[in-house]
Structure 1
């Protein structure tokens, strides 16, 4: 891989796209093992510069300068100043909500322009996805001028809280700069909730499941209680993510994630994460060790030690381990690119557990009321517990299932020429990713192969093998269709993607259909829900954009993880629980729609 030249798959661009889909997936999956996306290193340097300059540089300078501490390069003078931590949390949330942090740039499918976020959410007429139908005043799927006002008001309120100086804090034992004025946090708390009730994309993009509780603690708790509550918050995120890694999915996440790491490790070590490269691309014993010792065990045990330890050296060792944990994730440049989030969590580990150790009055027993402790714990574990038991009810982010590999996912299969219809959507500030690459000077075959690398990446994960199995059984003409990873399609339609299939479920398909009007069979989507923690299956739907849901069923996760990405033995077994009039083909002929979804045609 060069600095300006990527590692393109070693295929004949004049013939490759004529090969059967499974042969293309095999070639691209084998290439992924050693090169990942094959992105030129200059792209990763852009991310590093953004992280160092926009996030760390400007963010730290703003937080320290407006708080009367610093200067920002004198870390020893402000690293344990509570107001600096508060403002860095707010700065991170501001950048996330603006679209300049996670899910930004080419690695997230944003080629030209490299930003989604504000380009969509500050523009009336774009697609809006309400989270709950029963909430009054949220009907429809079009962003209104009022939605834009709410969104811009939230951004403005966040900036005000960041730039104004601090005030004395109740119970603040040290910290000459005080705390962010609690009164300034009421508006952003209220506005992010209102924005989220109108559009779930905005709430998820702003990482409301983590930063909203932090803002509530900033606004309403006295200092000691606030610090302990913040410890409980970060521990709930770590432990929740660790628990979600139980099962068969996460082992399949580590090899392709390591393969996509740009600056290290060497190719031989990337290959070692697979059983027998290039013939068997299932995870090796090394990958299993990395997943469940370096991942699951570290993410559960270490935070609990940090929360309970009163030993300085044990606490310091735990902090170092969690800092290294987040730096490792940052170094892999995961496709959702949550780099700022990982840096913040590394700093939070230092600030909370070294700056305010449990043995110096900031332990669980030091909270003002055991009932307050119990209430905060119950509130923090509610959505992780519910989301693991009923993933259909909770996004994987409030469920704290980051990087678990157990995600709601989908593949979109377009009839020849049908994908181009998406470019007719009014008010959409981007074109399809294929057209973005063409506009950047990619030859058409190279642009298409680049996009197909994303479906090869999906095939290396457990749910990908199930999704392709259903497509292969449902569409005899699959080799002639354009198959797209739903995360990338979703990104170009609503300005954000982060691995959450709830952002491109039936509601998005219905919104797209109302604007495009696909004919029956032109767009077929296979969508699968996350696996409940107590179940061994994943439930899927086959959706025709024009006709609605035409099939429901499930597959065993054990069958999915046992197969190769390219399904050499054919589709994995599945249990069809419901099929409309004999299946997709008969529905396409009859035009019958599923009343559970309705028709927008």
Structure 2
């Protein structure tokens, strides 16, 4: 009901304060709901609306932070693999020669090419440049330049239809750049009004994203504003034999993935479709750890296990997923084990954390549902850069 009240013709604090108050309460009860609401973006803006009648400056600050931290999150070696996979998989990049040019030597060397590297660096510079230009602009010409940069950035992203990306986010920030910066050129982005609101924005727009980038294991990549940079936490769930049937003891949002696909396709086609998720993971820099980690996690050949990306497990068990491996790591594993009772060896999970900003390694853990932690360590990103997507045993 609180979400429906703002549909009133005229909005006021009485409509917005309940939302601003309820969202953090929901976060305490279930962080999945908090993240699904995209609270780092929309909730923070709602608080600005509710806290002051002169909300333009605060809303601008939120918008600038989204671009800035999204750009900062791409200052690593992960983003070039995002660009080459996204571009070569785009429904609009119909030229075979362009798709092949994304890789060093297709199909023998599938690491990012110089063209992919150049595109990734240009995209990072553009994403960092947009907030700098708009934050420093007062005249119409300078603001128009910043808006043109934002349009170029989001038009490229949207036209590639990247898998799993929030296209809604790209549309909203384009709307915001006109509604805030073009329509209100004189409003200073950091004139946020009440000191308490300024303190909250400093926490949400500076402290929280900074912590999430430096110590990614502590916060969701959404709160860290590390959007579609390829540096995501992820998990892989490995069910031995038909042990996955024990998931039927859960109250799930949907049936087992192959039961869903089996209504439309034969088994071979279903396996091929789910295999695209594995291929997508392996094509990114982070996924090249799997040829190293899979032999550590399982006992016997891989074909004896049902391989499922944690995103799909999150969709089944939680009803939502968004590339956030924190939602389907050891906490969810323990909750599922309490209800499903997997025997030792029946369910093994690989949890890989993001690379910290300025760091050179990615932490990982391997768990058995019944026995607990089996192995933990770190992966050298420099070593992964030299690997092919599916090189290894």
After TM superposition, the score normalised by the length of structure 1 is: 0.63
Q: Distance in 2 between matches of 1:335 and 1:367?
A: 36
Determine whether 1:321 maps to 2:149: yes
The 5 A counterparts of 1:517-532 are 517-532=341-356
The separation in 2 between residues aligned to 1:494 and 1:364, in whole angstroms, is 38
Q: Following the alignment from structure 1 to structure 2, what is the Cα–Cα distance between the partners of residues 367 and 394? A: 26
1:209 is the counterpart of 2:40: yes
- Aligned counterpart for 2:100 among listed residues 271, 292, 297: 271
Q: Say if 2:230 is the partner of 1:405.
A: yes
1:490-534 CA distance string (max 9 Å, x none): 112111111110010111111111121111111111101111113
Within 5 A, what are the aligned runs for 1:377-456? 377-422=202-247, 424-439=248-263, 441-456=264-279
CA 472–160 in structure 1, closer or farther in 2 if over 3 Å, else same:
same
Distance 1:365 1:203, change over 3 A: closer
* CA deviation vs aligned residue, 1:333-354 (integer Å, no higher than 9, x gap): 2222412121111111111111
Structure 1 residues 475 and 372, CA, compared in 2 at 3 Å: closer, same or farther?
closer
Question: How many Å separate the matches in 1 of 2:342 and 2:35?
Answer: 29
Residues 219 and 240 of structure 1: is their aligned pair in 2 closer, same or farther, counting only changes over 3 Å?
Answer: same
Give the whole-Å Cα distance in 2 for the aligned partners of 1:370 and 1:207: 24
1:302 aligns with 2:126: no
How far did residue 307 of structure 1 move? 1.3
2:364 is equivalent to residue 540 of structure 1: yes
Paired residues for 1:86-165 under 5 Å: 156-161=1-6, 163-165=7-9
Residue equivalent to 1:344: 172
- For residue 248 of structure 1, report the CA deviation from its aligned partner: 1.1
Deviations 1:536-582 (A, max 9, x none): 111110001111111111110111121001114x5xxxxxxxxxxxx
RMSD, aligned CA? 1.8
Instruction: Give the Cα–Cα distance (whole angstroms) in 2 for the partners of residues 366 and 403 of structure 1.
Output: 30
Q: Deviations over 1:33-82 (max 9, x none)?
A: xxxxxxxxxxxxxxxxxxxxxxxxxxxxxxxxxxxxxxxxxxxxxxxxxx
Match of 2:336 among 512, 535, 539: 512
Query: Given that residues 452 and 484 in structure 1 are in contact (C-alpha distance below 8 angstroms), is that contact kept between their aligned partners in structure 2?
Result: no
Q: What is the count of residue pairs matched by the alignment? A: 392
Shift of 1:222: 2.8
Match of residue 31 from structure 1: none
Does the 8 Å CA contact 2:70/2:127 hold for their aligned counterparts? Answer: yes
Q: Is the 8 A contact 1:410 1:467 kept in 2?
A: no
Larger radius of gyration: 1
Q: Is the 8 A contact 2:213 2:357 kept in 1?
A: yes
Asked if 1 retains the 8 angstrom alpha-carbon contact of 2:297 and 2:349, the reply is no
Is this contact kept in 2: 1:252–1:461, CA < 8 A? yes
* Aligned residues of 1:471 and 1:478 also touching (Cα < 8 A): no
Which residue matches 2:310? 486
Alignment gaps of 5+ in structure 2: none
Matches of 1:222 and 1:314, distance apart in 2? 27
> Displacement, 1:372?
6.4
Q: What's 1:30 paired with?
A: none
- SS class of match (2:366): strand
1:190 equivalent in structure 2: 21
CA distance in 1, matches of 2:249, 2:174: 41
Superimposed CA distance per residue, residues 216-270 of structure 1 (whole angstroms, 9 cap, x where no aligned partner)? 10001232xx111111111111100100111111111111122222233422212
In structure 2, how many angstroms separate the alpha carbons of the residues matched to 1:367 and 1:190?
A: 19
Q: Secondary structure at the match of 1:534?
A: coil
**Deviation, structure 1 residue 329:** 1.8
Taking structure 1 as reference, are residues 444 and 182 closer, same or farther at Cα in structure 2, changes over 3 Å only?
same
Residues 1:244 and 2:244 aligned together: no
Q: How far did residue 317 of structure 1 move?
A: 2.0
Conserved? CA contact 1:327–1:343, under 8 Å: no
Alpha carbons of 1:378 and 1:512: their partners in 2 closer, same or farther (altered >3 Å)?
A: closer
- Runs of 4+ that moved beyond 4 A: 364-375
Q: Secondary structure at the match of 2:354?
A: coil
Q: Distance in 1 between matches of 2:340 and 2:198?
A: 51
> SS of the counterpart of 1:315?
helix
**Alignment TM-score, normalising by the size of structure 2:** 0.95
Change in CA separation of 1:525 and 1:416 when aligned onto 2, cut-off 3 Å: same
Q: 1:371 to 1:307 in 2, by over 3 A?
A: farther
- Structure 1 residues 488 and 356: CA distance shift in structure 2, 3 A: same
Counterparts of 1:242 and 1:219 in 2: how far apart (Å)?
29
Aligned match for 1:331, one of 147, 159, 174 = 159
Contact 1:386 1:399 in 2 (8 A): yes
Q: How far does the alpha carbon of each residue in 1:192-220 deviate from its partner, in whole angstroms, 9 at most, with x for none? A: 11111111111101101111110010001
Give unmatched runs, 5+ long, in structure 1: 1-155, 167-179, 571-601
Deviation (angstroms), 1:478: 3.4
